[in-house]
Amino acid sequence: MKYIQIGNVRIEKTAALAPMASVADKAYRTMAKGFGAAYCVGEMASCKGLVYSDRKTAELLSVSEFERPMGVQLFGAEPEFMEKAVKIAERYSPDIIDINAGCPMPKIVCGGAGSALMKTPKIFGELVRAAVEATGIPVTVKIRAGWDENSKNAVEMAKIAEENGAAAVAVHGRTKEQLYAGNADWNIIKAVKQSVSVPVIGNGDVKSVEDCVRMYEYTGCDLVMIGRGSYGRPWLFGQIRDYFSGKTPRFEPDLDEKLNIMRRHIALLVEDKGERTGMKEARRQAAWYIKGIEGAAALRNRFGSLNTLADLDELISEISGNAN
């Protein structure tokens, strides 16, 4: 097994779970880590929310020992709030603090944060410097290829991050304008890797062991990060870890195994958020797990009406019985 070093943090060179707002919560991260994710990053938290003592924002910084090494992610556009937020984040003892400069969602971009920072390199550099000077914890950044096809400036942004003390740079190979459509540009990840000396994390369009290996080989990146490719497939991290451990990657789970894994995931959601909220959020997770199986469309409708774990168990038994 090979490793990379981000500051004082040692990480297996397999695959990491990307930070995904409203997706990569504690239950999701626990499932990914349980199957072999090398590193996890929590959902992004607002710098201003933390500074103004918003309880829900602070909950996003929770770090369990099982999830380590784990990073927490902050978003904002004002260096003074970044500095204060980093000091608050320190209380939760994350292994890494990550700055979001890639989220393309309007409510984030309109405030000058997320991928809007791709258009304000000076402010971006000031944010990185403020974070680095506020803590001894390694600070990393996550950027996009650029704002649009005519302004792919990830190389410039990566250099600014490095100059201001960032310990690593993660690059999603899409522009802000692409959102999550089209193809990720691995050439921009490769260019960033060739332009900075800190570790570079590649992200975008990795959905299999083969994709992961190709990204490493094509871009030369130090670590591969997987987001949407892991939807309903936490075992992908195990398959990738098997490959890089010299083992034959485990087989794709059969239907019963997938249903059992889904049940474990949803039970974690309920344990963490309560049955009412957990089951509501579980409807989306279940849809990802059953994608591609026979009758998935009809099942999605039925999963959408589940309210309790007992309801879930009854439906799982029915699905399993019909398949056998």
DSSP letter assigned to residue 304: T
Helix (H) or strand (E) holding 3: strand 3-6
Residues designated as active site: 103
d(CA 143, CA 127): 13
Q: Which two tokens stand for residue 322?
A: 């019909």
d(CA 322, CA 18): 35
Q: Is 120 exposed, middle or buried (0-12, 13-18, 19+ CB in 10 A)?
A: middle
18 Cβ contact partners less than 8 Å away, ≥ 6 residues apart: 24, 41, 170, 203, 225, 226, 227
3-state helix, strand, coil in the chain (%, to 5): 50, 15, 35
* 190 close to 201: Cβ distance less than 8 angstroms: no
151 Cβ contact partners less than 8 Å away, ≥ 6 residues apart: 118, 119, 175
| Phi/psi-derived region of residue 179, left when phi > 0, alpha when psi is between -120 and 50, beta in every other case | left
* 159 close to 197: Cβ distance less than 8 angstroms: no
197 Cβ contact partners less than 8 Å away, ≥ 6 residues apart: 162
179 Cβ contact partners less than 8 Å away, ≥ 6 residues apart: 104
What phi, psi does 203 have (nearest 5°)?
Answer: -145, 135
